């Protein structure tokens, strides 16, 4: 796998940042993306010092803006795009949690535009490069919310069900090109996810992960690397990864 580039969306925190670190540790070159440029630059600096043999390219864009996505990818040098073998569609978020009749349309738009349309824009920009290789890989980060629905989760759950459906659809459409497609569906993981969902309310966000051991970003990064390092003839289609204390979206054993 050494020498190839992996494109990781949403690498400024949480899963994406841990996935970038894991790839770099294992000698992969990485393209790290997100809206917070200073975080991307700091991560790049850290990784190229720790792993001097890898290359790290920063791409700063908002996945909701199709032109921004397209133009940023088109600006990448040929020697980088010609070696992109892996796409990790990780950028995403929940905004708000509550009954559908009191939901805010701005929150709904942010979730649908980021989790569904953003994933499509990034995929459309990167798939042409994946098609140039046999054995390319797409990993879509969905959620347990893409397998089940839970109270107050309505639009976030719908957006993640869409990711789950797109993973299955991509697997069929991209079969002629030998592109593997993996859907990963994590349960509760301690990242900045809840801080974003609860709009900066750090007390509520912290309480989501109290009283049990949640997943950590590194757990998901390990699984992404495992999936991407299977032999050419093996594809992991779907992985549901839960904290041991969580049996389903709504069944969590707290102390």
Query: Where do contacts with ligand NDP occur on this chain (CB under 6 A)?
Result: 10-16, 34-36, 62-64, 90-93, 114, 118, 141, 143, 186, 188-189, 191-193, 196
- Using the rule CB under 6 A, which residue among 30, 138, 145, 162 binds ligand 8X3? 145
Residue 28 vs 144, nearer CB to ligand 8X3: 144
Which residue among the candidates 79, 150, 156, 226 is catalytic per the annotation? 156
Q: Measured from the CB of residue 83, what is the shortest distance to ligand 8X3 in angstroms?
A: 31
3-state secondary structure the chain: CCCCEEEECCCCCHHHHHHHHHHHHCCCEEEEEECCHHHHHHHHHHHHHHCCCCCEEEEECCCCCHHHHHHHHHCCCHHHHCCEEEEEECCCCCCCCCCHHHCCHHHHHHHHHHHHHHHHHHHHHHHHHHCCCCCCEEEEECCHHHCCCCCCCHHHHHHHHHHHHHHHHHHHHCHHHCCEEEEEEECCECCCHHHHHCCCCHHHHHHCCCCCCCECHHHHHHHHHHHHCCCCCCCCCEEEECCCCEEECCEECCC
Q: Is 249 in the site for ligand 8X3 (CB under 6 A)?
A: yes
- Using the rule CB under 6 A, which residue among 85, 143, 183, 223 binds ligand 8X3? 143
Stretch that binds ligand 8X3, among 69-77, 141-149, 163-171, 218-226 (CB under 6 A): 141-149
Interface mask (CB under 6 A) for ligand 8X3, residues 178-197, using x and -?
A: ---------xx----x----
Q: Measured from the CB of residue 144, what is the shortest distance to ligand 8X3 in angstroms?
A: 5
Catalytic residue status for 212: no
List residues with catalytic annotation: 156
Sites of contact with ligand 8X3 (CB under 6 A) = 143-145, 153, 187-188, 193, 249
């Amino acid at each position: 796998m050494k020498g190839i580039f992996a494109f990781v969306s949403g690498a400024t925190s949480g899963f994406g940042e841990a996935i970038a670190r894991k790839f770099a540790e294992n000698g992969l070159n990485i393209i790290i993306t997100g809206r917070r440029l200073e975080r991307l630059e700091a991560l790049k600096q850290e990784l190229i010092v720790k792993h001097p043999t890898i290359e790290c390219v920063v791409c700063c864009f908002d996945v909701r803006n199709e032109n921004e996505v397209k133009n940023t990818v088109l600006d990448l040098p040929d020697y980088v795009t010609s070696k992109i073998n892996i796409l990790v569609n990780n950028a995403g978020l929940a905004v708000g949690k509550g009954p559908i009749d009191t939901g805010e349309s701005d929150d709904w738009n942010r979730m649908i535009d980021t989790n569904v349309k953003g994933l499509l824009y990034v995929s459309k920009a990167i798939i042409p490069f994946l098609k140039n290789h046999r054995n390319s890989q797409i990993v879509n980060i969905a959620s347990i919310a893409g397998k089940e629905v839970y109270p107050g989760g309505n639009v976030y759950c719908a957006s993640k069900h869409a990711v789950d459906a797109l993973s299955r659809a991509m697997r069929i459409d991209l079969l002629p090109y030998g592109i593997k497609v993996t859907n990963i569906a994590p349960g509760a993981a301690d990242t900045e996810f809840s801080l974003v969902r609860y709009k900066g309310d750090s007390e509520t966000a912290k309480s989501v992960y109290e009283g049990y051991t949640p997943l950590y970003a590194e757990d998901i990064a390990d699984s992404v690397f495992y999936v991407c390092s299977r032999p050419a003839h093996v594809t992991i289609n779907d992985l549901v990864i839960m904290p041991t204390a969580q049996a389903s979206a709504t069944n969590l054993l707290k102390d």
